[in-house]
Amino acid sequence: MERDGRLGRNSEEGHATNAILLESTLALRERDVFFARIEAVQKTGEALVLPAPAEDEEGWLGKIAIGYTRQFETRIGSSGVLLGIGAGASLSRVAAAFEDAYDGS
């Protein structure tokens, strides 16, 4: 199992926003790979190029994603190529301050 996490901070013109990222992969039998990722970023409406009044707001945007890939090794001459086929699903969240700019979705 591989895991990674990052924290970030963006500071511009006396104003700072934050970000967090966590991700993990789990490989079973070398061919079956499961993955998960969680990310959240704090943004201003101005940074997202949203129209007024959302441009003056600030909020968090987030996403959770999970997936699976089945890998297949293919030989081309003496070299091997690892191909994969899989599926994934994700769920996103937009701050209430930005919902109108994102058509309420």
Token output for 2: 């591989």
Average pLDDT (26-53) is 90
By the 8 A CB rule, do 91 and 66 touch?
Answer: no
What span, in angstroms and rounded, lies between the C-alpha atoms of 25 and 27? 7
Phi, psi of 54 (to 5 degrees): -65, -25
Residues 6+ apart with CB under 8 A from 12: none
Q: What is the pTM for the complete model shown?
A: 0.76
**Residue 83 vs residue 76, higher pLDDT:** 83
Phi, psi of 97 (to 5 degrees): -65, -20
Average pLDDT (24-32) is 91
Dmax of the chain from CA atoms?
A: 60
By the 8 A CB rule, do 6 and 31 touch?
Answer: no
Question: In this structure, which amino acid lies at residue 105?
Answer: S
